[in-house]
Amino acid sequence: MDQYIGRLLDNRYEILEVIGTGGMAVVYKARCHRLNRLVAIKILKDEFARDEEFRRRFHAEGEAVAMLSHPNIVQVYDVSTSESANYIVMELIDGISMKQYMEKKGVLNWKETLHFSMQIAKGLEHAHSRGIVHRDIKPHNVMVLKNGSVKVMDFGIARVMNKSNTLTKEALGSVHYISPEQAKGGHTDNRSDIYSLSVVMYEMMTGRPPYDGESAVAVAIQHINGGAPMPSTLNPNIPGGLEQIIMKGMALEVRDRYASATEMLQDMEEFRKNPAILFQYRFLRDDSTQAIPLNTQPRTTAEKKVQAKTGTRATTDSIRLHQSSQTAPKRTTGVVVNVENQSIRRAQQRRKAEVRKKEEERSRVATTAIVICSAVAVIAIVVFLVALFNGALLNKEKDIVEVPYLEGETYGAGFAEKYADFNIRTLPQEYDDTYPAGQIIRQQPEGGEKVQRGSDLWITVSMGPEPEAKTMDNLVGASGDDAYNLLENQGFAPLTKKESSDVYEEGIVIRTDPIAGAEVTVGQTVYIYISTGPDVVMEPMPNVVGMELERVKELMDQLGFTKVRYEPMESQKPKNEVIYQSVAKDTKTDVTSEIIIHYSEGPQETTAPTENTQETTESTTAPTTEETEITISFKVPERDTEYRLEVRPKGSDEVVASKLVPPGVASTYVNLKGTGTQSFDLYADGEYIRTESVPFS
């Protein structure tokens, strides 16, 4: 049993049960006796609680986050660090994590993605305005409530958790969403959260994160190098404007991202108002890894026209230019003859002569000035060249450094710090049969060259040998275990997920991702969706003995029982009266399980009954005075809200049966006892409906 369950922390919080476990803490459901409310308490595991510096930072960060108050942030009520336990008290959320929601729904549509993302961004905006950076935004840290709203949790705690920058097992849950600067162990700020949010949006729209690999280090290197496939290549239904927002937020260079969550929210709001909008973002073009590409497919008729004429993607400006060129009036040429009298022409000639004379005088003055200025300029240039070659350039020669030989070195976190004299820049990774993954295969400038200190040094990192391309097998209908073993033996990384199915039995493969026939590579992650069988629906078995066969069939259909076998039996009971049921009344039963019901064929006819037979017949058919319990189906008013149905003997106030009727139900059943045929009054929330006759024999 867990050591904390049943304990009372700080004479206030009673630990009730475990509701979640993480890499560094366990989350419990607890009751606050001071305020009489349920809360969630995150208690640090012992290995972290023993570190005094860790506890100090944990307490300081927790107190800072407790100052946050926003509808999209899980509220922190209290923080405590003591010898007995180190914990944070938070509001208890009735919902599931965004990760669980995405696993259940698969690829989200753009409206749902925008709805959730704007709420997360609003929570980030509030925290950033208070100087708090999350540093671990991922679907696991976002809770989805039943009303469709979301709350971000673990604000500020991530910085404490990431005291070590090494990528260990604890980093595996976060490395798919980590920013490049975090992967390199560099400085992080609010734009790191924007990057992680954009990665979450990418996964919402495509069903997978932008980078994946066999290890945390491999994924981190991909974040550092950039070059994620455009979301529209994985989901062609993503609108262009939303794709631009995602890719701007995921820009490799920090300066190319949104400067704040507020700026990102403004673009989200513009897109929400006009889903056809395309933004005119500007990115650096001197580095191919930093230029964020946009979807090159034209999305409007105007774009298609411009692209057809120019061969380039249409922007808002190019569309406007193209349209204006179509509507601009065309000029016509011709000769315009002005007829003037001779006196006017002579006056013009006199004025021209005067102008020429004045221009000649100004020209002589200007020539003299030019000669003097040229002499001064020549002297200035000579002085400048002497100073340049004898001073500035000579000083610069002292700042020349030699380029190191980097080929074969391993690129990773802290690499740039080793070569502080250069600005290390990365080109897209390449497959290489000679160098293992992570090693540098090419550099520019080459080793041994002399360059200015601080110059760019471009490197290309190997991804290892290129995996052999294969075609995905069709595993639908196969055993889940067989499919898993087959993919694992072929060198893939299979992951299984459970789904209910009315078509495939439990343990059978429903589908795979990638689908059959798709091109796959060794080491790639393949998702196997395995059937858990149809959803199980349990219903209490009614008492149908003594009821007429047709009414029983109607009742069983109404309750959803699908495998009911009706068999005739010899009996002295009236014809078609049910005399046996294989499942006892009120027993919770799977509606798909088999139920056997026997009904009477009716009394056998005899032509000459003997005296003894006559006596037997009389005794058999004589009416009985014993009460019989039957289940009877009544038609009831179909209402929008729940109400209580009461059954009373006719003319009496005694309630012999009572039942809540859900909204939208037009008939229901109740259990009644009686003899012969009796009449009952039906009431809905005390209001009389009608009178029904019920035969008990």
Catalytic machinery residues: 136
What distance in Å separates the CA atoms of residue 262 and residue 322, rounded to the nearest whole number? 34
Q: Are 249 and 264 in contact (CB under 8 A)?
A: yes
Query: Could you tell me the two tokens for 584?
Result: 């006892």
What distance in Å separates the CA atoms of residue 692 and residue 647, rounded to the nearest whole number? 10
In sequence order, the 6+-apart residues with CB closer than 8 A to the CB of 686 are 646
In sequence order, the 6+-apart residues with CB closer than 8 A to the CB of 380 are none
Helices (H), 19-174: 46-49, 52-65, 98-105, 110-129, 157-161
Q: Which helix (H) or strand (E) holds 140?
A: none
Query: Could you tell me the two tokens for 255?
Result: 């300066």
Angle CA 244–245–248, to nearest 5: 80
* Axis-axis angle for helices 316-327, 301-310 (nearest 10): 80
Q: Are 471 and 520 in contact (CB under 8 A)?
A: yes
The sign of the dihedral angle between the CA atoms of 87, 88, 89, 92 is: negative
What distance in Å separates the CA atoms of residue 198 and residue 117, rounded to the nearest whole number? 9
Helix (H) and strand (E) counts in the chain: 19, 30
The sign of the dihedral angle between the CA atoms of 610, 615, 620, 622 is: positive
Q: Counting every residue, how long is the chain?
A: 697
DSSP 361-420: HHHHHHHHHHHHHHHHHHHHHHHHHHHIIIIIHHHHHTTEEEPP--TTPBP-TTHHHHTT
Nearest alpha carbon to residue 98 among 145, 158, 42: 145
Provide the strand spans (E) within 133-197: 142-145, 150-152
What distance in Å separates the CA atoms of residue 645 and residue 660, rounded to the nearest whole number? 6
In sequence order, the 6+-apart residues with CB closer than 8 A to the CB of 93 are 40, 74, 143, 145, 151, 153
How, if at all, do strands 525-531 and 493-499 pair?
parallel
Q: Which amino acid is at 93?
A: I
